Structure 1
Amino acid sequence: MRAYGEVLRVPGLARIILAQLIARLPAGMYSLGILMHMEHQHGSYTAAGLVLAAFSVGMAAAGPFVSRLMSRFGTVTVLVVTTVVSVSALSSIASLSLPLWADVAAGLVAGAAMPPIVPTVRTLYPRMVPQRLLSPLFSFDAALQEIIWVFGPVLLTLLVSALGTGPTMLVTIAIQAGGAALFIVSPEVRRLRIPPTSRKLGRVLRKPPVLLAVAVSAMFIGGFSAVEAGVIATFGEGALEAGLVLAVSAIGSLIGGFAVGSRGIGPWSVAIRLTIVLAGMALALPMTEVIGLSAALFIAGLGTAPALAAFSAIIAGTVKFADTPEAYAWIGTGQLLGAALGSAVAGIAIDAVGGVGAVWVAVVMVALAALLAAVFRRHQPDLRHGIGDPPDTAPVELPR
Structure 2
Amino acid sequence: MSAYGNLLKTPGVGRVIAAQLTARFPFGMLSLAYLLHVEHVFHSYGSAGLVLATTSIGQAIAGPLTSRWMGSWGMRPVLVLTSLVALASMGVIAFVLMPLWAYVVIGFVGGLAVPPVQPAVRTIYPKMVTSAQLTPLFSLDASAQELIWVAGPVITTFVATQIGTVQAIVVAMVFLVVGGVWFIASPELGRVRIPRSKRAFGVVLRRPSVVVATLTGMLLIGACSAVEAGVTSAFGEGSPNAGIVLAIFAIGSLVGGLAFGHRPISPNTLWTRMLIVFIGLGLATFGTGFWWLAFALLIAGGGIAPALAVMFGSVSSTVKFSDTAEAYGWMGTGQLIGAALGSAVAGFLIDLHGPTGGMAVGALGAFVGVLLPLFARRWLPDLRGRDASPIPDTEPVNLPT
CA distance in 2, matches of 1:343, 1:126: 34
> How far is the alpha carbon of 1:389 from its aligned partner?
3.6
CA distance in 2, matches of 1:386, 1:371: 26
Is 1:264 the counterpart of 2:261? The answer is: no
CA distance in 2, matches of 1:357, 1:48: 16
> How far is the alpha carbon of 1:236 from its aligned partner?
3.5
> How far is the alpha carbon of 1:29 from its aligned partner?
2.6
Alignment of 1:1-400 (within 5 A): 1-37=1-37, 50-96=50-96, 101-157=101-157, 159=159, 165-166=165-166, 169-347=169-347, 349-350=349-350, 353-392=353-392
CA distance in 2, matches of 1:171, 1:229: 19
CA distance in 2, matches of 1:162, 1:227: 21
How much identity, in percent, do the aligned residues show?
49
The one-letter code of the counterpart of 1:186 is S
User: Structure 2: which 5+ residue stretches go unaligned?
Assistant: 395-401
> How far is the alpha carbon of 1:49 from its aligned partner?
5.0
Residues 229-268 of structure 1 show CA distances to partners (whole Å, capped at 9, x for unaligned) of 3333443445333322222121111100000133111111
CA distance in 2, matches of 1:136, 1:169: 33
The one-letter code of the counterpart of 1:131 is S
CA distance in 1, matches of 2:233, 2:179: 34
Q: 2:151·2:250 contact (CA, 8 Å) conserved in 1?
A: no
Determine the structure 1 residue equivalent to 2:397: none
Q: 2:49·2:348 contact (CA, 8 Å) conserved in 1?
A: no
- 1:236–1:31 CA distance, 2 compared to 1 (3 A): same
CA distance in 2, matches of 1:35, 1:296: 24
User: Structure 1: which 5+ residue stretches go unaligned?
Assistant: 395-400
CA distance in 1, matches of 2:90, 2:118: 20
Residues 57-101 of structure 1 show CA distances to partners (whole Å, capped at 9, x for unaligned) of 212221111111000111111112212222233334445566655
Determine the structure 2 residue equivalent to 1:398: none
Determine the structure 2 residue equivalent to 1:397: none
> How far is the alpha carbon of 1:337 from its aligned partner?
2.9
The one-letter code of the counterpart of 2:181 is A
Q: 2:349·2:358 contact (CA, 8 Å) conserved in 1?
A: yes
CA distance in 2, matches of 1:130, 1:47: 48
**In structure 2, the residue corresponding to 1:323 is in which secondary structure?**
helix
- 1:171–1:372 CA distance, 2 compared to 1 (3 A): closer
Q: 1:229·1:347 contact (CA, 8 Å) conserved in 2?
A: yes
CA distance in 1, matches of 2:40, 2:360: 33
Equivalent pairs, count: 394
Which segment drifts farther, 44-53 or 354-363?
A: 44-53
CA distance in 2, matches of 1:280, 1:157: 21
> How far is the alpha carbon of 1:345 from its aligned partner?
4.2
> How far is the alpha carbon of 1:31 from its aligned partner?
2.9
CA distance in 2, matches of 1:4, 1:335: 25
The one-letter code of the counterpart of 1:266 is S
Q: 1:254·1:302 contact (CA, 8 Å) conserved in 2?
A: yes
CA distance in 2, matches of 1:62, 1:212: 20
CA distance in 2, matches of 1:38, 1:352: 18
CA distance in 1, matches of 2:159, 2:288: 30
TM-score by length of 1: 0.88
**In structure 2, the residue corresponding to 1:318 is in which secondary structure?**
coil
Q: 2:55·2:340 contact (CA, 8 Å) conserved in 1?
A: no
- 1:129–1:307 CA distance, 2 compared to 1 (3 A): same
Residues 144-187 of structure 1 show CA distances to partners (whole Å, capped at 9, x for unaligned) of 22322344334345555787555654453232122111111111
**In structure 2, the residue corresponding to 1:29 is in which secondary structure?**
helix
Q: 1:193·1:393 contact (CA, 8 Å) conserved in 2?
A: no
Q: 2:49·2:345 contact (CA, 8 Å) conserved in 1?
A: no
